[in-house]
Amino acid sequence: MSAVSAPTAAAVLEHVVRSIVDQPDAVTVTVTEDGDRSRLDVRVGPGDLGRVIGRRGRTAASIRTVTRAAASKDGVEVDIEFLDD
């Protein structure tokens, strides 16, 4: 995890995702600067993406809400992308 501009948001995001998946050691969060916003890319192990996204994307939406609230403490806005390796 490389969280230069959004350390709180990245830490919260990683903690929440690790608590949901079957393979917590496979979770990685990468922070990319994109102008005035930060993009947090979350990679999970095989078969865990469905758990993170949830039915109709409700789990992913909730994770995004919590992470954006944490990002406000960092004073930044974030976008979260869930990627499957």
Tell me the per-residue pLDDT of 41-52, one tens digit each, with 9 for 90 and over. 999 999 999 999
**CATH classification of the domain holding 13:** 3.30.300.20
**Count of structural domains within the chain:** 1
| Domain contains 19 | yes
Question: Is 61 part of any domain?
Answer: yes
Phi then psi dihedrals of residue 17, to 5 deg: -65, -40
Helix extents (H) in the chain: 7-20, 49-53, 58-74
Within a domain: 1:
no
CA dist., res. 23 & res. 44, Å (int): 8
pLDDT in tens, 15-44: 999 999 999 999 999 998 877 788 999 999
Closest residue by Cα to residue 49 from 30, 27, 79, 78:
27
